[in-house]
Amino acid sequence: MTNVNNGKKLTSRDLQAIETRKKIYDTAVRLLSEKGYENTTVDDICNASGVAKGSFYHYFKTKSDIIVQTYNDVDERISQEFESLPPDTGVLEKIIYAPMFQARYAIEKGLNYTTLIYKQQIDTENAFFASDKRAFISFIRKAIQEGQVKGLIRKDISADELSKMVVSFSRGVTYDWCLHDGDYDLEERMQRSMKLLIQSFMVQTNK
């Protein structure tokens, strides 16, 4: 959480609002993980977080907005981490970074909640989940474009198409982890799978 908002210092009221929203969100994630989406009500979330029902609806229009906020959280955090990457970070490392972040985030949130997120992706009509404008896919696309400019990545397939392949592949690995009840090292599998995929993007030099 930052103490500035569009260049302006946050007031104590702003900070309190941020804290309240975070408390509702964190409580909701815990309850949804424990009880499941259908068995968790807005009343449950409000009672557990100690806020009035009106406060919940002030920050979230519906219960499904909690899931959307998870994606916002992913995008915000990966954007912050990307900005802090060393300038000499290689193209391959940049492309793999986003899927590896996704793997770490899934482990952080836990198997139950990650499974719930994937179920909601299928059930919901919210287009944000698969939006090409999300920071997650934009980060991958920019890294691929950089690789194409440097002559490291093939240009016969657009950066947009290649980035979609990476995202689809990373979702598939995470989904498979959920199907197998998290019985293998997701980070190790993600890294190995991504390296194999991205090798097919690289320009092959004649030896």
The domain spanning residue 21 has which CATH number? Answer: 1.10.10.60
Q: Using an 8 Å Cβ cutoff, are 125 and 197 in contact?
A: no
Tokens 């799978």 label which residue? Answer: 193
Q: Which of 76, 74, 63 is nearest to 31 (CA)?
A: 63
20 and 74 inside one domain? no
Residues 133 and 99 in one domain: yes
Bridge partners, 5 (sequence order): 8
Same domain, 81 and 100: yes
The stretch 14-25 carries a mean pLDDT of 90
106 shares a domain with 153: yes
Interatomic CA distance for residues 33 and 130, integer angstroms? 22
Domain extent, residue 194, equals: 64-207
Q: What is the pLDDT of residue 124?
A: 67
Residues 6+ apart with CB under 8 A from 37: 63, 116, 119, 120
Please indicate, yes or no, whether residues 132 and 179 belong to a single structural domain of this protein.
yes
Candidate from 2-6, 67-71, 110-114, 198-202 with smallest mean pLDDT: 2-6
Helix axes 12-35, 65-83, angle to 10 degrees: 120
With pLDDT > 70 as the criterion, what percentage of the chain qualifies?
Answer: 90
Q: Supply the pLDDT for residue 2.
A: 42
Q: Which own/partner pairs from 31-39 qualify as long-range (CB within 8 Å, at least 24 positions apart)? A: 32/66, 32/113, 32/116, 33/109, 33/110, 33/112, 33/113, 33/116, 34/112, 36/112, 36/116, 37/63, 37/116, 37/119, 37/120
Tokens of 77: 């955090």
| Residue 20 shares a structural domain with residue 68 | no
Report how far residue 65's alpha carbon sits from residue 63's, in angstroms, rounded to the nearest whole number: 5
> What CATH code is carried by the domain that includes residue 165?
1.10.357
Confidence of residue 127 (pLDDT cuts 50, 70, 90): low
d(CA 183, CA 177): 7
Final residue in a domain of this structure, among 61, 81, 96: 61
Inside any domain, residue 2: no
Distance of alpha carbon 189 from alpha carbon 88, whole angstroms: 25
Number of domains into which the chain is organized? 2
Cα 87 to the center of its chain, rounded Å:
23
